[in-house]
Amino acid sequence: MIVPEALAPLAHMVAGAVLRTLHEGMPAGT
């Protein structure tokens, strides 16, 4: 999937938020 450069920063922020949520729900040592 090709993401326009203008949307790339937003996509990274969304991905970061999802990863943070997943890590908060899992043990830190996983």
Please tell me what DSSP assigns to residue 6.
T
Q: What's this model's pTM, rounded to 2 decimal places?
A: 0.53
Helix segments in 1-30, DSSP class H: 8-25
pLDDT of residue 14: 94
How do residues 1-30 score in pLDDT, each as one tens digit? 676 888 889 999 999 999 999 888 877 655
> pLDDT at position 26, please?
75
Determine the Cα–Cα distance for residues 9 and 17; give it in Å rounded to an integer: 12
C-alpha 2/C-alpha 26 separation (Å) is: 31
**Residue 22 and residue 4: Cα distance in Å, rounded?**
26
